[in-house]
Amino acid sequence: MALKAGTQADWTGSLAGLIEERLEALLLADGLPGLPDGPEEQVRGRRHLFLAIAQAVVEHLHANPDAFVLRDSPRQTLLRIERAP
């Protein structure tokens, strides 16, 4: 399965959609109002922010494949993501 940053037209199952879901859950867990369903311009503006974040994350991961180290042994497969210092 490929990483899907998302677009305004293709929101379902995207990283941007997941970011929106997690923010909604965090707000509600803190007893705050959830994300508003409108007005439409406000929702589109909020989603532009989530799309920018998701697209940047996917682009960064794609541009840095050497950060992913896969080790395989008979007992386990390990994926480690290395960080820059």
**Structure pTM?**
0.79
Burial of 76 (0-12, 13-18, 19+ CB in 10 A): exposed
Residue with tokens 């390990």: 78
% the chain with pLDDT above 70: 93
Angstrom distance (rounded) from CA 36 to CA 21: 12
So what's the pLDDT on residue 62? Answer: 87
So what's the pLDDT on residue 24? Answer: 97
> Nearest CA to 47 among 68, 19, 70, 28?
19
Question: Over the chain, what is the mean pLDDT?
Answer: 90
Angstrom distance (rounded) from CA 49 to CA 47: 5
